[in-house]
C-alpha cells in the first residue's frame, strides 16, 4: 500500500531524511480531499479499557461509493494504530462504512498485518482483543476518568528511573535530592531476569545507604504497569515468557520486600516525565517526552491528573513514508521510537556521513555524536536539527489527541547543544506549519541535571507514606 506522499508540500524539511512524510501533513491533506469531495461518511470509534474507562474519536472517510478504498484503508489503519498506543484498549467499537470496518477487523486480528498491536493490547489488559461493529447511537459516551499522581514530598524516599541504557536513582529527603547517580546497564540485551533484579536492587541499596531510613520507593520505568506489576516493557524484551511471568511481573514489588516491605509505587516513565514538568512549572496540560533508548511519553491533564491512557508514543507513527526505518520489535515503519531516541541519532549520523565504531554500545554511539557536536562538527549538529524537525511535525499530530499547553523534553538525546537545536527547529516547524499551535504551547528544555536525573527525583514523590 502506498502512502499519501505529500512531503513536497513541506515548508520545513528534514535535510538528512528527504523521504520524511510527516503524518499530520498526510492526514490534513486526506481529510481536506474527503470534505471537498462531498462524498463521505462519518466514522465513530470507541476504545474500551474497562467498562467505565473508554476513549472516543470521530473522523470522516470517503464513502464506499467514492472508489477511494485504498486511501481510506491507509488513513484508518494509521489512525487506529495511533489511537491504540495513545489511548489504549482491548476493544474497538466501530461505526462507519462496513467495507472499511472489515478491513480494520482483519488488519488488527491475531493473524493480521497489525497483530503485534492487537496481541500487545491483549497482554496489557489481559483480555482478548476484538473489533465490534455497532451503530453510532448505540455507543455510550461516558466521561473519561483520571486520577492524581505523585506530588508527595514528605519523608525519606528513593526515586528510581529505569532507562534502556542507564539506570538512575536518587535519595530524596523532604522533597530535596541529597544524592543521585547514573549507571550504564544493558537490560534490553539481557535474557536473565536475575540481572535486572540485582541491578535494580543495587541501585536501591545505594540510595538507601545515604539516608537513615527509607519511607517509600517511587519507580519510573519504561513499559506498562498495573497495580505496580509489569504487564509489558521493552526493558525485558529478551526475557523468555515463562521467566517474565515468574520473575519480572512482580520485580519491583519483590525489591521493595527485600528492602523491608517498603511502600512502593511504579509508574510509566513518560507519566513521570510529565509529572516532573507539572511540578516544576506549576502547570497542567503537560506532555512529557523523554528521548533516550526509545521514546517515552506521559500526560498530565487539566486537573493535574494522569488519564489511564497508554501514552506509548514510541509506537505511534510519525512518518507516513512506507519505506522509512522499521522498528525491530513491532515490525512497523515510521514509529516514534526511531525518530526520538538514540536510534534516530545513529540513523541520521549514517545519512550525514559520520562514521561510528560499530563495537560501541548504543549509548556510547550517542555520546560519540554528542562529542562531535562539542568539537564543532556541523554535520553532527545537523542531526539534532533534523530531530527537531521531526518533533515539530509530530507535535502537530499529537495535538489531535491531547489538549496541550506545555511540552517538556527530557532524556539523554537532549543533552548539551543538541537539545537546544531540537527545541529551536521544533519551534521553527510549529511557527511555519502550525501557527495557532505555536502560540498555544510552550516547549521547555530543563537544565542539564534535570534532563538527566529529573525523572528519578519526580519518581520519589509517587507513593504516599502510610
314/439 same-domain check: yes
Angle between the 269-281 and 448-459 helix axes, to the nearest 10 degrees? Answer: 110
pTM: 0.87
**How confident is the model at residue 50, as a pLDDT?**
83
Q: What is the rounded CA–CA span in Å between residue 16 and residue 349?
A: 9
Percent of the chain with pLDDT over 90: 76
pLDDT digits (tens, 9 = 90+) for 292-324: 888 989 999 999 998 889 999 999 999 999 999
> Are 208 and 214 in contact, with CB atoms under 8 Å apart?
yes
232-265 per-position pLDDT tens digit: 888 999 999 999 999 999 999 999 999 999 999 9
**How would DSSP label each residue in 208-239?**
HTTSS---EEEEEESSEEETTEEEE-GGGTTS
Q: Say if residue 92's pLDDT is above 70.
A: yes
The tens digit of pLDDT for each residue in 164-221 reads 888 999 999 998 999 999 999 999 999 999 999 999 999 999 999 999 999 999 999 8
Four-residue CA torsion sign, 239, 240, 245, 247: negative
Same domain, 398 and 339: yes
Over residues 399-415, the mean pLDDT reads 92
What's the rounded Cα separation, in Å, for the pair 29 and 128?
A: 35
Q: Which domain holds residue 441?
A: 272-457
Q: Kindly state whether residues 279 and 214 are assigned to the same domain.
A: no
* Residue 46 forms part of a structural domain: yes
Domain ends where: 230, 255, 271?
271
pLDDT at 410: 84
Pairing of strands 147-148, 305-306: antiparallel
The separation between CA 460 and the C-alpha centre of its own chain, rounded to angstroms, equals 21
Total domains, the chain: 3
Same domain, 82 and 183: no
Residue 462 belongs to some domain of the structure = no
CATH number at residue 371: 3.30.420.40
Whether residue 405 sits in one domain with residue 449? yes
Look-up of cell digits 508514543: 313
Indicate the residue among 252, 271, 290 that finishes a domain: 271
Of residues 282 and 451, which shows the higher confidence score? Answer: 282
Amino acid at each position: 500500500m502506498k502512502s499519501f506522499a505529500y512531503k513536497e508540500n513541506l515548508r520545513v524539511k528534514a535535510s538528512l531524511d528527504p523521504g520524511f512524510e510527516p503524518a499530520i501533513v498526510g492526514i490534513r491533506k486526506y481529510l481536506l480531499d474527503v470534505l471537498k469531495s462531498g462524498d463521505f461518511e462519518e466514522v465513530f470509534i470507541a476504545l474500551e479499557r474497562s467498562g467505565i474507562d473508554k476513549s472516543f474519536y470521530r473522523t470522516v472517510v470517503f464513502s464506499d461509493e467514492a472508489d477511494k478504498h485504498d486511501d481510506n484503508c491507509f488513513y484508518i489503519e494509521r489512525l487506529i494504530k495511533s489511537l491504540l498506543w495513545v489511548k489504549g484498549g482491548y476493544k474497538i467499537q466501530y461505526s462507519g462504512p462496513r467495507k472499511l470496518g472489515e478491513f480494520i477487523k482483519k488488519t488488527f486480528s491475531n493473524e493480521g498485518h497489525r497483530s503485534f498491536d492487537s496481541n500487545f493490547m491483549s497482554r496489557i489488559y489481559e483480555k482478548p482483543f476484538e473489533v465490534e461493529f455497532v451503530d453510532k447511537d448505540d455507543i455510550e459516551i461516558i466521561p473519561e476518568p483520571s486520577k492524581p499522581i505523585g506530588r508527595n514530598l514528605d519523608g525519606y524516599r528513593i526515586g528510581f528511573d529505569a532507562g534502556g541504557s542507564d539506570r538512575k536513582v536518587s535519595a530524596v529527603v523532604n522533597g530535596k535530592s541529597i544524592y543521585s547517580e547514573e549507571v550504564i546497564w544493558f537490560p534490553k540485551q539481557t535474557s536473565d531476569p536475575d540481572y535486572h533484579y540485582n541491578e535494580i536492587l543495587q541501585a536501591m541499596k545505594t540510595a538507601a545507604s545515604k539516608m537513615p531510613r527509607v519511607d517509600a520507593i517511587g519507580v519510573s520505568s519504561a513499559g506498562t504497569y498495573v497495580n505496580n506489576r509489569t504487564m509489558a516493557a521493552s526493558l525485558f524484551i529478551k526475557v523468555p515468557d515463562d521467566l517474565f511471568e515468574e520473575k519480572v511481573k512482580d520485580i519491583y514489588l519483590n525489591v521493595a520486600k527485600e528492602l523491608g516491605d517498603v511502600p512502593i509505587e511504579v509508574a510509566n516513565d513518560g507519566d513521570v516525565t510529565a509529572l516532573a514538568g507539572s511540578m516544576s512549572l506549576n502547570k497542567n496540560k503537560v506532555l512529557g517526552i523523554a528521548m533516550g533508548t526509545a521514546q517515552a511519553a506521559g500526560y498530565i491533564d487539566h486537573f493535574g491528573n494522569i488519564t489511564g491512557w497508554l501514552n506509548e508514543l514510541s509506537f505511534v507513527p510519525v512518518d507516513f513514508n512506507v519505506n522509512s526505518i522499521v522498528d525491530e520489535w513491532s515490525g512497523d515503519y515510521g514509529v516514534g521510537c526511531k525518530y526520538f531516541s538514540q536510534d534516530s541519532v545513529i540513523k541520521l549520523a549514517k545519512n550525514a556521513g559520520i562514521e561510528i565504531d560499530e563495537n560501541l554500545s548504543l549509548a556510547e554511539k550517542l555520546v560519540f555524536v554528542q562529542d562531535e557536536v562539542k568539537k564543532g562538527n556541523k554535520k553532527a549538529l545537523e542531526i539534532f536539527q533534523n530531530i527537531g524537525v521531526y518533533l515539530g511535525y509530530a507535535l502537530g499530530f499529537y495535538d489531535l489527541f491531547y489538549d496541550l499547553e506545555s511540552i517538556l523534553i527530557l532524556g539523554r538525546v537532549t543533552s548539551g547543544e543538541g537539545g537546544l537545536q531540537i527545541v529551536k527547529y521544533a519551534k521553527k516547524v510549529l511557527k511555519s506549519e502550525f501557527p495557532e499551535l505555536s502560540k498555544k504551547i510552550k516547549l521547555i528544555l530543563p537544565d542539564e541535571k534535570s534532563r538527566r536525573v529529573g525523572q528519578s527525583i519526580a519518581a520519589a514523590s509517587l507513593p504516599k507514606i502510610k
